[in-house]
Amino acid sequence: MSQDNDNNAYWSANVRFILISLAIWALVSFGFGIVLRPMLAGISVGGADLGFWFAQQGSILVFLALIFFYAWRMNKLDREHGVEEE
Amino acid sequence: MDQFVLNLLFVGASFTLYIGIAVWARAGSTSEFYAAGRGVHPVTNGMATAADWMSAASFISMAGLIAFTGYDNSSFLMGWTGGYVLLALLLAPYLRKFGKFTVSEFIGDRFYSKTARMVAVVCLLVASITYVIGQMQGVGVAFGRFLEIDAFWGLMIGACVVFAYAVFGGMKGVTYTQVAQYCVLIMAYTIPAIFISLQLTGNPIPALGLFGEHTASGEPLLAKLDQIVTDLGFREYTAAHGSTINMVLFTLSLMIGTAGLPHVIMRFFTVPRVSDARWSAGWTLVFIALLYLTAPAVGAMARLNISELMWPNGTDAQAVSVEAIETDPEYAWMATWEKTGLLGWEDKNGDGRIQYYNDANDDLQEKAEANGWQGNELTNFNRDILVLANPEIANLPGWVIGLVAAGGLAAALSTAAGLLLAISSAVSHDLLKGQLTPNMSEKNELLAARISMAAAIVVAVLLGLNPPGFAAQTVALAFGLAAASIFPALMMGIFFGRINNTGAVAGMLSGLVVTLVYIFLHKGWFFIPDTNMFTDADPLLGPVKSTSFGAVGAMVNFAVAYVVSSMTKEPPQEIKDLVQSVRIPRGAGTATDGH
C-alpha cells in the first residue's frame, strides 16, 4: 500500500471516530439535556429528573470521557498507521 | 479582624504572587511573548488554559444567572464545556501541526490570501473586544465590592490594574501566573460551596448535595427549592420555561464560540507535540469541570438561602424586618453590597418589613392585596453579585469571604490578560508586521503590542459603561461572534479541502456581519441604549434571541463559503498538500515565525 493510500485510510478512520464522538456529544447535551428531556421525565434524580441532571452534570462528565477516549484512540491510530511524531 | 482589611490582605497576597511570577518569567523575545517557547506540559497547559478560560463570566456571573433562572440557563454549563469536545476533535491537533503562532496566520496561509488573514484579524478583534467588555464588568463588580465603592469606580480602578498586569509579560509570564491563578480561583469557588453544601445537605460534594436531601426539611433540595420559589410567585426552578429552539441554538452558539476564541486556541500552539494538543484539551476540561460541576449547586443553594433569609419563618409567615436587615449581623452583607449600587431594597408599603416576591405574577395579586403588599421590595439584585456575596449570605467565616474576593479578581484578570494578549498579537503581529510594516524590529513589535493593549482596554471600558447585559450575557455575545466568524473558517480549512480563498473570505464576512447586525438590532448600535429596534423578549426571528444568533451566523458562514467556493476556482496544489500535511501528525516540528 502506498503512503498516500495509507494516509487516506488513516484520515477516514479519524473522521469515523470524530463522527461517532460528535453523535454522543449531541445526544447527551442537545438530546438528553434539552430536546429529549420530556421523554426522560419519568426517571427521577434527587428532586429533579434525569434530563435536568444531564443538563447540569451528566453532559459535562460525558464530554470529559469523550475527549480522553478520543485522545487515547487517536494516539493508538497514529501508531497503527505509522504517522506518530518521531 | 475587620472584613475590609481581611479582603485587602487576601487580594494583596494573591496579586503579589501573580506579579512576582510574571516578573520572574518575563518574556524576552517575541517568540516567548506569544507562545512561551512551546515547553509547556499538557497538564500545566491545561491548568493555565482553564484559568484563562474561566473568566468573570464563569466565576462571578454564571451561577447568579442559573440561580435566578434555573434550568433554562443550563445552556451556559453545557455550552462552555461542550465546546472543548469540538476543540479537541476538530481543531487543536491540526492547528498545532500547522505550527504557527496565531489563528489568523493559519487562515491567511490555508486560504492563501492576505485578505483572508486581515478579515480573520477583524473577526478576532470584534469578538475579543466584546469579550473584554464582559470581563471589565466583572472586574468592576469585584473591585467595587472589595473596596466598598460604586461599581463605576471599581471599573475604572480595575481597568488600570488589568493594564498594568497585562503589559508585564507575554504568554510565558502569563502561563505560570495563570497556574497560580487557577489554584486561587478554584479554591475560592469550591471552598464556600463545600461549606454551604454541608450546611444545607450534609454532603461535602456540592454536585452531589444538589441532588441530595435538604436536611432542615427532609425533602430533596431541588424539590424544596421549587416549592419555595413557586410560593413566592417565581417560576419553578427545575422546569423548562423558554423556547426549546432558542435553548438549542444558544447552547450550540456557546459551544462553537468556545472553539473559535483566539485566546483559547492560542494555548494549543504552546504544547510540544500534536498528541499533547489532544491530551491538553482533555486536561483543560478536567480543570474547568471542577468549577462547572459545582456552579449549578452554588446557584441553587444560594437561591434557597436568599429566599429563606428574606422569609426567615417560611413563606406563609412574616417577611424579614427592616430592623433585622440594618442591625442583625446575618444581614450585614446587604448593607455592604448596597454601597456598590448593585443591591437595593425599599419598604414600599411602610410596614417595616421587606417582602421579596414576584409582583408580576397575577396568581399572587390576591395574596399581596390581602397582606397589604405594594410590590416586590427587594428592588435591585444584580445577578453578578451572587457568587461574591454567597459566602456572606451563608454566614461563612471572614477568611472565606476574602478568598472569594481574591478568586473573583483572579478569574477576571487572567482572562482579561489572555484576551489582551490575543488582541495585541492580532494588531502587532498580524496587522502591522504581517501587512503594513513588515520590516518592523522586534522591539517595535513589542511596543506596538503594548500600545494596542492599552487601546483595547480604553475601548472596552467606554463600551462597558452601557453593558448589553450581565457579565455572562455580554460574554455570550462575544461567543456568538466568534462562533459565526472564526470557527467555520478553521474547521473548513482542515476538513474541506475544496474551500478556497474567495469562499472563506465571503463566509467569514457574511457570518460576522449578520451576527453583529442581529446583536446591534437587539442590544442597540454599539450597545448605546435606546438605539435598538427589537428586544430579546420579542426577537426579530421568532424565538431566536441575540445571544443565540451565533449558531445561525455560523450556518450562514458555512453555506456562503461552500456555495462561493464551488462557483470559483479550486485551491492550488500546494494548498491541497498543506491540508494533507496538517491532517497527519508526523513531522510536526517546533513552530516557526511566518515571516
Q: What is the pLDDT of residues B68-94, one digit of tens each?
A: 999 999 999 999 999 999 999 999 999
Comma-separated ranges of CATH 1.20.1730.10 domains in chain B: 3-87+99-301+395-583
Interchain proximity A61–B289, CB inside 8 Å: yes
Of the pLDDT bands very low, low, confident and very high (cuts 50, 70, 90), residue B437 is confident
CA distance B120 to B135: 22
By Cβ distance, the residue of B211, B285, B584 closest to A45 is: B211
- Read off the pLDDT of residues A25-56 as tens digits, 9 standing for 90 and up: 999 999 999 999 999 988 988 889 999 999 99
Which CATH code, of 1.20.1730.10, 1.10.3720.10, 1.10.10.10, 1.25.40.10, is assigned to B3-87+99-301+395-583? Answer: 1.20.1730.10
Test the B interface: residue of A67, A69, A75 with most B CBs within 10 Å: A67
**For the segment B189-208, what is each residue's pLDDT rounded down to a tens digit?**
999 999 999 999 999 999 99
Higher pLDDT, B120 or B149: B120
Size of interface A-B (CB pairs under 8 A): 139
Nearest one of B385, B216, B379, B173 to B313, comparing CA atoms: B216
Any residues with CB less than 8 A from the CB of A26 and at least 6 apart, and which? Answer: none
Q: A interface toward B at CB cutoff 8 Å?
A: 7, 10-11, 14-15, 18, 21-22, 25, 29-30, 33-35, 37, 45-49, 52-53, 55-57, 59-61, 63-64, 66-68, 70-71, 74-75, 78, 82-86
Copy the grid coordinates of residue B365: 395579586
Q: How far is B274 from chain A (nearest CA, A)?
A: 8
pLDDT of residue B595: 40
* Smallest Cα distance from B40 to chain A, Å: 17
User: Residue written as cell 478512520?
Assistant: A13
- Supply B575's cell numbers: 494548498
Are the beta carbons of B224 and A47 separated by less than 8 Å? yes
B324 has a pLDDT exceeding 60? yes
Tell me: pLDDT of B594 over 60: no
Q: B557, B508 in Cβ contact below 8 A?
A: yes
User: Is A67 within 8 Å of B85 when comparing Cβ atoms?
Assistant: yes
Task: Name the least confident of B22-26, B383-387, B536-540.
Answer: B22-26
Question: Residue B143 is placed in which grid cell?
Answer: 473591585
Residue of A53, A57, A72 for testing the chain B interface, max B β-carbons within 10 Å: A57
pLDDT greater than 70 at residue B108: yes
Q: How close is the nearest chain A Cα to the Cα of B249, in Å?
A: 9
At B175, the pLDDT band (50, 70, 90 cuts) reads: confident
Q: Which of B65, B84, B89 to mutate to test the interface with A (most CBs of A within 10 A)?
A: B89
Q: What value, to the nearest 5°, has the Cα angle with vertex B107 and ends B39 and B514? A: 125
Distance from CA of B381 to the nearest CA of A (A): 24
Q: Considering all CA atoms of chain A, what is the largest pairwise distance in Å, rounded to the nearest integer?
A: 59
- pLDDT-derived band at B43 (thresholds 50, 70, 90) equals confident
Would you say B274 and A85 are in contact if contact means Cβ atoms under 8 Å apart? yes
**Percent of all residues in chain B with a pLDDT value above 70, rounded to a whole number:** 94
Kindly determine whether residue B583 and residue A63, on different chains, have CB atoms separated by under 8 Å: no
The reply to whether residue A34 touches residue B244, judged by beta carbons under 8 angstroms, is: yes
Q: Which of B145, B193, B199 is nearest to B309 (CA)?
A: B199
CA distances from A67 to B87, B129, B156, B198, B483 (A): 9, 30, 40, 32, 20
Distance CA B227, CA B204 (A): 24
Q: How distant is the Cα of B148 from the closest Cα of chain A, in angstroms?
A: 34
Task: Give the distance from residue A1's alpha carbon to the nearest chain B alpha carbon, in angstroms.
Answer: 17
CA atoms within 13 A on the CB side of A4: 1
- The predicted model gives A54-78 an average pLDDT of 96
Q: Do B586 and A83 touch (CB under 8 A)?
A: yes
- Over residues B162-187, mean pLDDT: 75
